[in-house]
Amino acid sequence: MSQVPTSESTEVVEPVGHVQIVYLGPVAPHWECRMVYGDEEQIQAFVDRVDARLRFLPPHDPQFRRNRERVNRDAEREALIVEWNLGYDEEPAQA
């Protein structure tokens, strides 16, 4: 039996909050999370998890890419919009 997603499991959920994650520079802490809108308790819990994953990782660290994807998946589960500001223009993702 295959695990094919149904239309019910792929429905679009309205975002409940928006967080900006900003790179501060080469000296730790490297990141700051800013709430744009949403429930403060939910956003703070998310920010705490982001902080645990990124606090001492600059964007050029190999672990950063993996942790960034974890943060994005966490935000997706929480129905949050995440906006990254790394201080430079990123290359578009290739399919």
Mean pLDDT score, 36-52: 94
Bridge pairing between strands 17-23 and 80-85: parallel
pLDDT one-digit tens code per residue, 57-85: 999 999 999 999 999 999 999 999 999 99
Mean pLDDT score, 20-43: 91
Q: Give the per-residue pLDDT at 51.
A: 94
Mean pLDDT score, 9-15: 75
- Are residues 48 and 33 in contact, defined by beta-carbon separation less than 8 angstroms? no
Q: Give the per-residue pLDDT at 6.
A: 52
- Are residues 53 and 63 in contact, defined by beta-carbon separation less than 8 angstroms? no
Q: Where are the alpha helices (DSSP H) in 1-95?
A: 40-54, 62-78
